[in-house]
Amino acid sequence: MQLYYHPLYSDLILPERHRFPIQKYKLLKTEIEKLGVSAIHFQEPKKATKSQLSLCHNQTYINNFLNGTLSNKAIKKMGFPYSNELVERTLLSVGASIQSSEHALKHGFSANLSGGYHHAYSDYGSGFCIFNDLAIAAAHLINTEQADTVLIFDCDVHQGDGTAQITQNHDQIITCSIHCEQNFPRNKQESTYDFALPAKTTDAEYLATLEQALDFCVRIHNPDIILYNAGADIYTKDELGLFDVSLNGVYKRDFFTLNFCKQHQIPLMCGLGGGYQRNLSSLINVHKQLFKAAIDL
């Protein structure tokens, strides 16, 4: 099992009380190592190139971000203070999702211990998302003729609005978002398929929707690969999510998705997605369910 990770994922200096739990990546890696599975290999990613970013993003936006010429308003919307480390980290995270997707195509499964930056639009960043790694990975696989059809299966509690906007005219990229209607973003975009569930949705309702949605997307579109946003913010205690899904519900979601892909022999790449509990050990435990499911498979 190849997992893509870079120390810079967590090495970003943020102001005290900043909402983003930047330490989670490093802590998660340590927790995965504690599972003691020898088949797990951590791979350092290479940075995404400008031409890869251009597959999904506007040139002016890319240049402004890379050169440090974004407006203060744009930086505020993005959600992170601007720094050279942020640029490095962003390019590594996107590169990791691209390389992880290529690895999954060859070997069946892979994950990036970052990624799932689905609020990034073609010409601006939003909600802690700068470049849309899963949309870029999908466009890259199609552009290099490694895949004909890619399904982005987004199970973060927030809608994949940026992904929907970026891929709206790209008929080889299918987007499916299962999210909470009342959560950010207020103005939802149109994915290929949207499953907007109400606040306080519990395990049974959530899992029934998930199973139907994945089965439907695969039957209709027969994707060559699935890029899965495994957001941990569906968990009931997440401060930025409104679902009532239990820890076991998160495990069942991840296990179902992984097992479905295995049974149908569809390569699967996973991005970590959101997860914002201030209690870091509880947060890591939610993200860890994905890797437990991968090991249990």
Distance of CA 160 to the CA centre of its chain: 9
Assess 156 for contact with Zn ion (CB under 5 A).
yes
Residue with smaller CB distance to Zn ion, 62 or 196: 196
Whole-angstrom Cα distance, residue 253 to residue 289? 9
In the region spanning residues 20 to 49, those forming contacts with Zn ion, defined by CB under 5 A, are none
Assess 118 for contact with Zn ion (CB under 5 A).
no
Give me the least distance between CB of 272 and Zn ion, in Å please.
11
Assess 238 for contact with Zn ion (CB under 5 A).
no
Give me the least distance between CB of 209 and Zn ion, in Å please.
17
Assess 233 for contact with Zn ion (CB under 5 A).
yes
Give me the least distance between CB of 289 and Zn ion, in Å please.
16
Assess 274 for contact with Zn ion (CB under 5 A).
yes
Residue with smaller CB distance to Zn ion, 223 or 273: 273
Residue with smaller CB distance to Zn ion, 104 or 234: 234
Using the contact rule CB under 5 A, the part of the chain among 4-12, 98-106, 170-178, 226-234 near Zn ion is: 226-234
Size of the site for Zn ion (CB under 5 A): 5
Q: Order of strands across the sheet with 41-43?
A: 41-43, 2-4, 109-112, 268-271, 225-229, 150-154, 173-180, 193-197
Assess 158 for contact with Zn ion (CB under 5 A).
yes
The burial class, CB within 10 Å (0-12 / 13-18 / 19+), for 17 is exposed
| Residue 151 contacts residue 109 (beta carbons within 8 Å) | no
Give me the least distance between CB of 21 and Zn ion, in Å please.
12
Question: Distance from first CA to last CA of the chain, Å, rounded?
Answer: 12
Give me the least distance between CB of 231 and Zn ion, in Å please.
5
Using the contact rule CB under 5 A, the part of the chain among 19-27, 45-53, 212-220, 233-241 near Zn ion is: 233-241
Assess 254 for contact with Zn ion (CB under 5 A).
no
Assess 231 for contact with Zn ion (CB under 5 A).
yes
Assess 154 for contact with Zn ion (CB under 5 A).
no
94 phi/psi in degrees, rounded to 5: -70, -45
Binding region for Zn ion (CB under 5 A): 156, 158, 231, 233, 274
